Amino acid sequence: MDVNKNSYTIGFATLMVIIVAALLSSAAIGLKPLQSKNIEQEKKQNILKSVGIELSRELAEKDYSNYIKEELVLNHLGEIQEGSAFNVDLSKELRKDAKDQSLPLYIAQINGEERYIIPLRGKGLWGPIWGFISLEKDLNTVYAAVFDHKSETPGLGAEINRPFFQDPFTGKTIMEDGKFVSIIVQKGGAKGDVHKVDGISGGTITCDGVTGMIEERLSKYLPYFKSISTSMQVQDALEIVTQDELNDTISNINKRIID
């Protein structure tokens, strides 16, 4: 075989390309389960972080079920559907019409109190942004929030994943006089305003993306919030009636004793 011929060179190069491609493909297939596991652990880590539980990926995997008690999937009417919230891919759902979207919702138990966790996804300056925001039992007060991004500008919009930006969301409210107003990220606009959080200097477009993301996502859950709020109000009323009946019974017993 004449190794100096062009045909030999081309054949050898082609063979090497095939071999390298096969090796890379095998490596990718072999690593996929590990990559999927890491993504799953990171997601659980962020879900827990959105209710103030900060753990390593490994501990998040282990303790997740101790805090997250329900993983619901809702439709646009707020009705519970089959499936698990954890398996819903928001990047795919957002490509659908609003009425066809599946809405994932996590319900956590933190110190004996329910917390409602809503996954978020939107657009920043250079690419997608995402996160989780949790509400207290009143479905109005923010318990905690966590955000992240794919390619926002370092030192500017990328700072949305830092505690100094995320922590001020705690205690903010999304309703005013029974109406949904969401939360606005505004530079210098958070002082004394229960519906606003300070923005990041130089990261206005990313912050606007966070504002839009929160409003767009939370608005989809209002039908569900309304349905369970009514249930809560009914339950509270029943508890009040029960207590009143108990008081009447005690009063009647006391009267009989006196008589």
**Phi, psi for 126 (deg, rounded to 5):** -110, -10
Q: Are the beta carbons of 166 and 146 closer than 8 angstroms?
A: yes
Q: Is 48 strand, coil or helix?
A: helix
Q: Are the beta carbons of 145 and 119 closer than 8 angstroms?
A: no
Residue 120: inside a domain, yes or no? yes
Q: What is the mean pLDDT of residues 68-73?
A: 98
Segments in 50-153 forming alpha helices (H): 57-67, 90-93
Residue 32: inside a domain, yes or no? no
Q: Are the beta carbons of 161 and 150 closer than 8 angstroms?
A: no
Residue 16: inside a domain, yes or no? no
Residue 173: inside a domain, yes or no? yes
Residue 151: inside a domain, yes or no? yes
Condensed to tens digits (0 to 9), the pLDDT of residues 87-113 reads 999 999 999 999 999 999 999 999 999
Q: Say if residue 256's pLDDT is above 50.
A: no
Write the single-letter amino acid at 176. Answer: E
Nearest-10 crossing angle of helices 57-67, 6-49? 40
Q: What share of the chain is helix, strand, coil (3-state, %, to 5)?
A: 50, 20, 30
- Residue with more model confidence, 39 or 15: 39
Condensed to tens digits (0 to 9), the pLDDT of residues 16-65 reads 778 777 666 666 666 566 678 889 999 999 999 999 999 999 999 999 99
Which residues, including other chains, have CB under 8 Å from residue 226's CB and lie 6 or more apart? 78
Residue 219: inside a domain, yes or no? yes
Mean per-residue pLDDT over the chain, rounded: 87
The pLDDT assigned to 36 comes to 80
Residue 72: inside a domain, yes or no? yes
Total domains present in the chain: 1
102/113 Cα distance (integer angstroms): 26
Residue 246: inside a domain, yes or no? no
The whole domain housing 189 covers 47-236
Q: Is 80 strand, coil or helix?
A: strand
Condensed to tens digits (0 to 9), the pLDDT of residues 161-202 reads 999 999 999 999 999 998 999 999 998 866 789 999 999 999
